[in-house]
């Protein structure tokens, strides 16, 4: 059976978990690539496209989290890694329940983008108490999303 993209598993699991919960998705103009467009079709009032502005997306996510929503802020991993100041100030300082999803990190070997994604997000781990997850396949992605929904606090 061919492997499915982790981003597809993310959208399926977040859509399933959204029933009866305050889950929202935030996107930085990449909803087709991150596949959150499928969440938006199912829950149109709970999906927000904030344009090409990842820092703003994280700030909006923090605000939504502080009002009781569970925001999943989605973008390509390479665009999220440079937003540590926003993560630290808007998300970590306020202990906002924001779930930061970086897709397209290319998990293959130690020399690929995955290793770089982990090493570049390590400074965020040192500066803020968050949970750092990096699922390797569809099953792990579903488990991480289920965990993130059930546990308060921001996750990357």
In a domain, 12, yes or no: yes
Q: How many domains does the chain have?
A: 1
pLDDT in tens, 10-47: 666 666 666 667 889 999 998 888 888 988 999 999 99
Cα–Cα distance for residue pair 60/66, rounded to 1 Å: 10
pLDDT tens-digit series, residues 95-149 = 999 998 888 766 554 444 444 545 555 454 445 555 667 776 777 777 877 888 8
CATH of the domain at 128: 3.40.50.970
Q: pLDDT tens digits, residue range 49-86? A: 999 999 999 999 999 999 999 999 999 888 887 788 88
Residue 144 lies in a domain: yes
155 domain residue, yes or no: no
Enter the tokens of residue 70.
Answer: 């569970």
1 inside domain: no
Cβ 139 vs Cβ 11: under 8 Å: no
Please tell me the distance from the alpha carbon of residue 153 to that of residue 3, in angstroms, as a whole number. 30
8 Å CB contact between 33 and 103:
yes
CB 156 within 8 A of CB 131: yes
* pLDDT recorded at residue 27: 93
Predicted TM-score (pTM) of the model is 0.78
Quick check: is 114 in a domain? yes
The domain containing residue 131 runs over which residues? Answer: 6-150
In a domain, 91, yes or no: yes
């Amino acid at each position: 059976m061919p492997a499915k993209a982790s981003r597809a598993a993310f959208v399926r699991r977040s859509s399933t978990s959204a029933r009866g919960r305050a889950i929202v998705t935030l996107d930085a103009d990449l909803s087709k690539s991150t596949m959150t467009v499928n969440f938006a079709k199912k829950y149109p009032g709970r999906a927000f496209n904030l344009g090409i502005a990842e820092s703003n997306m994280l700030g909006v996510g923090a605000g939504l989290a502080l009002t009781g929503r569970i925001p999943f802020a989605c973008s390509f991993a390479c665009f999220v890694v440079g937003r540590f100041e926003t993560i630290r100030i808007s998300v970590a300082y306020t202990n906002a329940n924001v779930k930061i999803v970086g897709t397209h990190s290319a998990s293959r070997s130690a020399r690929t983008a995955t290793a770089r994604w982990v090493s570049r997000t390590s400074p965020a781990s040192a500066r803020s108490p968050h949970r750092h997850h990096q699922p390797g396949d569809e099953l792990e992605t579903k488990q991480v999303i289920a965990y993130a929904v059930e546990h308060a606090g921001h996750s990357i």
